[in-house]
Structure 1
Amino acid sequence: MDANHLLELVKRYQDNKAFISNEETAKIALVVPFIRSLGYDPSVPREVRLEYTADFVQGDGKKLPDRMDFAIFDQTGTKPLIVIETKPLGTDLKARAQQLARYLAQLPELHFGIITDGCHYLFFGDLENPNVMDPEPFFTFSLEDTKADWAKVAKFLSKFSREAFNATTLITDAENSRYRQGMIDKLAAALKAPGEHEAFLKWLTEDIYKGKRTTAVMERLADVAKEAIEPTLLRVMGDDFLNKLKERIQRLNEGAEPAVAQDGANVVKADSARPFEAEGRAAPDEKGRAAVETTEAELEFFGVVRDICVKHGAAAEDILFRDTASYFNVSFKRPTKWFARFFSNGKRKSIITWVPVEEARAIAAGFDVEAAPAGLGTSRVFIESVPQVWALKALMTRSLELSKTVRDEAPSPEAAAQEDGKPGLKVISG
């Protein structure tokens, strides 16, 4: 499976969701194509059996036939690998997953079950105790998720494909996925509010503070820890992070990264994933106006800002950049609808946005913030390096929101020159 298989399923869901009124339609329209995308053929009973029946032994010893919508078998056709239960669109799937639990309990060789309404997919396993279904799914995805990284989802799902399925390695991978998500959630919670996580705060300060830990001291240490987290993250986003970012920009130039379509669905488009088409450097014109040279730092800035906006629901192709001799603009849909201006030529790098100064100071705590020069924007934030922009994601998204209410600026002299076919401005979409 690759990302395009999932993107086709996303489009199929969007085009047909208004007409999927019951469970049977969801099966035919969405679940069967999903099974095919994993490499199994629903029309071949050796591989996939519909309305698969197993006997469920009740407490009184009587056997009650129990049916699953789909059962996927190994290549011999004798060993069930995955069972799938389908419910109508909008069903509370987790609350209806008990039937999967019965199947995992009845069939010793079965370790994985999926419950879906065609849009949302919940993967359950018996990772804690054999043949006892875990209370929480180890993996989920939704065709409505506009922020999904479909390449990563496809990579994970590929492990369940006909050619790659291996129960032993899958169990390990599923466990690792669950552990990883648990660590992410726990670490994120501790970093957001260290004072609310006593064990974390104790670990963080045990070799630093040697005195008595009174309530007042712990509150003080919690405040200090909160102030230390942002610089720590910025330090982590050092050379290695920057190198990875450059590699990603290179992949974007090669058209290898998926973009996000305007309608909210993720769509892989090689052309739309080329935001940085190489252009020759413009020479000064006959009137002596400065040439526009888009630097690596400016492209890096654009890549970070665009990724921030996409993660918050914007379409990648709507985030544009326009370079001028004085500053580097990032805009939304139209070159004149800017929301971030990057100044990288002076002694200090800075970003100008539409966010009011006091609000910007609150959002960009720890950064030097001042009023922007007249006519250039509202507030200016000084940064040391482009990776710090990740710490300003709330500022970027807030400025993008405010820019939608600001009247388009008139074309600058550089823009007018560009329209006349003279050097001075480049407009390139993401």
Structure 2
Amino acid sequence: MDFKDQIAQLASRVEKMLPQIQTEEATKNALVMPFIQIMGYDVFNPFEVNPEFIADLGIKKGEKVDYAIIKDGDPAILIECKHHLENLDPHNSQLFRYFHTTKAKFGLLTNGIVYRFYTDLVEKNKMDSTPFFEFRITEIKEAELAELKKFHKSYFDVDNITNTASELKYLNELKTLLHKEIADPSESFVTFFTKQVYPNMITAKVKEQFAPIIKRSFNQLISDAINERLKSALNQEKQIDVAESIKIEEGGGAETASGIVTTEEEIEAFFIVKSILREVLEPKRIIYRDALSYFAILLDDNNRKTICRLYLNTKKYLVILDDNKKEIKHEIQSIDDLYGFADILKEVIVKLELPKK
């Protein structure tokens, strides 16, 4: 199971377990420790994960942070945990106090659902008051998974994370600001955009009229951009690979005579997969073969190199074959959901391209 699947599995478990988790200690055991384990660290090895890590604060001795991730003998990440029902906002000051007494470069404040990562972007060796990276594990997005993976033991590099932390912090703050303004435009936001299109004096009444127009404009713009991107990707693949498509369909004539019907939806799904994998592979190496029960997408037209199978009947599934050729099913609502499995599909290609021992 890859990193993305492990996080998704934990997220689904979190929602089911919350009613049974009554204490902060239970939050740590049921939610936070499994998360640390997924990040590649051995929670039972104090040389990797040191629980109740002592961070003396001047004359206050014996102050403890819940966990410290240890790297090369020194704390690299300090983790402070709260009950899953607690709001994290009042608690960053506690982590702030621990931060400057250790060599740790990152602080993590969490209630097992929300995860906030801090560092010292503003003033060296002094933890910032706002996180540079934050996510909800039950709603984690593709881009957030990519950032989170940098903290995995296998990829953890202080310089790499620090170099992108500042950009990530302001990117997230701007996204939050834009999201808020689009949902409920402020007066200054409305004034700025109204000035760009309205030639007369901007009165309170004019701003009141333009506020819903601006909100609707942004929502429509976002919707149009998403639809256009999907349509563009499909059209581009169809234009580039039309000759290959004809060749493939001709090659499937014998199967069609056996009662196999290749649907338009299956062809579109095929082009989506090619669009995803063109970043790591020549598109001409990706071929499909239709069968009675499923639609197969292969590497090099080789049955032993199955990239994936698609079941697109009443219930739709993307299927990946494990090392023993056993099917691992991922339910999808529509073929557009295939874009969400880009990492998994690329990992299949990596495995298929590995030299045989």
Tell whether the structures are fold-level matches, with TM greater than 0.5: yes
- Residue aligning to 2:249: none
- Matched ranges for 1:94-109 at <5 A: 94-107=89-102, 109=103
Cα contact 1:3–1:150 (8 A) shared by 2: no
Return the alpha-carbon distance in structure 2 between the equivalents of residues 218 and 117 of structure 1.
Answer: 41
Are 1:271 and 2:329 an aligned pair?
yes
Q: 1:220 to 1:5 in 2, by over 3 A?
A: closer
Contact 1:104 1:126 in 2 (8 A): no
Equivalent residue letter for 1:271? K
Distance in 2 (alpha carbons) for counterparts of 1:115 and 1:20:
18
The answer to whether 1:131 aligns with 2:125 is yes
1:349 aligns with none
- Give the letter aligned to residue 106 of structure 1: T
Distance 1:127-1:197 versus aligned 2 partners, 3 A rule? farther
Matched position secondary structure for 1:164:
coil
* Post-superposition CA distance 1:100-152 (Å, at most 9, x none): 11111222x42321223334433233333333333333333444x3xx24654
One-letter amino acid of the counterpart of residue 191, structure 1 = I
Query: Within 1, Cα distance between the matches of 2:16 and 2:227?
Result: 43
Bigger radius of gyration, 1 or 2?
1
**How does the TM-score come out when normalised to structure 2?**
0.58
Q: Which residue of 1 aligns with 2:151?
A: 160
Q: How many residues matched? A: 259
**2:64 paired with 1:6:** no
Structure 1's 165 and 222: CA in aligned 2 closer, same or farther, altered over 3 A? same
Once the two structures are superposed, residues 213-234 of structure 1 have per-residue CA deviations (whole angstroms, 9 ceiling, x without a partner) of 4445555555654564455445
The residue identity in structure 1 corresponding to 2:130 is E
15-24 or 110-119: bigger deviation: 15-24
Aligned-partner Cα distance in 1 for 2:105–2:90: 19
Query: Is 1:64 matched up with 2:32?
Result: no
The secondary structure found in structure 1 opposite 2:63 is strand
**Structure 2 counterpart of 1:197:** 187
SS of alignment partner, residue 97 of structure 1: helix
Deviations 1:249-273 (A, max 9, x none): 534987699xxxxxxxxxx995344
The equivalences for 1:23-422 within 5 A come to 23-57=24-58, 62-74=59-71, 76-77=72-73, 79-107=74-102, 109-143=103-137, 145=138, 148-149=139-140, 151-194=142-185, 196-198=186-188, 200-206=189-195, 208-219=197-208, 222=211, 225=214, 228-229=217-218, 232-233=221-222, 236-237=225-226, 239-244=228-233, 250-251=272-273, 271-273=329-331, 303=336
One-letter code aligned to 1:197: E
The one-character-per-residue Cα deviations of 1:379-430 (angstroms, maximum 9, x if unpaired) are: xxxxxxxxxxxxxxxxxxxxxxxxxxxxxxxxxxxxxxxxxxxxxxxxxxxx
Please state whether the residue corresponding to 2:68 is helix, strand or coil. Answer: strand
5+ long unaligned stretches in structure 2: 238-267, 277-294, 298-307, 311-319, 321-326, 340-357
Q: Which amino acid aligns with 1:88?
A: H
List per-residue Cα deviations over 1:148-177 (Å, max 9, x = no partner). Answer: 246544322211111222223323433333
Q: Which amino acid aligns with 2:231?
A: L
| Paired residue secondary structure (1:190) | helix
* CA-CA distance at 1:82 after TM superposition: 0.4
3-state DSSP of counterpart to 1:165:
coil
Which residue number in structure 1 is paired with residue 258 of structure 2?
Answer: none
C-alpha distance in structure 1 between counterparts of 2:193 and 2:199, whole Å: 12
Amino acid at match of 2:127: M
* Aligned-residue offset at 1:89: 3.6
CA displacement 1:266-314 (0-9 Å, x = unmatched): xx995344667xxxxxxxxxxxxxxxxxxxxxx7xxx59x99xxxxxxx
State the SS of the aligned residue for 1:13.
helix
More helix by share: 2
Distance 1:33 1:188 in 2: 32
Spell out, residue by residue over 1:174-197, the C-alpha distance to the aligned partner (whole angstroms, 9 max, x if none).
333332222223223433455x33
User: Using the alignment, how far apart are the partners of 1:218 and 1:92 within structure 2?
Assistant: 36
Give the residue type in structure 1 aligned to 2:29: I
- Name the CA shift for 1:129/1:42 in 2 (closer, same or farther; >3 Å): same
Task: Supply the RMSD in Å over aligned alpha carbons.
Answer: 3.9
User: Conserved in 2, the CA contact under 8 Å of 1:2 and 1:151?
Assistant: no
Indicate the SS of the match to 1:65. Answer: coil
Please give the alpha-carbon distance, in whole angstroms, between the structure 1 residues aligned to 2:143 and 2:332: 20
Distance 1:216 1:133, change over 3 A: same
Aligned-partner Cα distance in 1 for 2:45–2:115: 23
- How much has 1:210 moved relative to structure 2? 4.6
Q: 1: CA distance between counterparts of 2:215 and 2:13?
A: 45
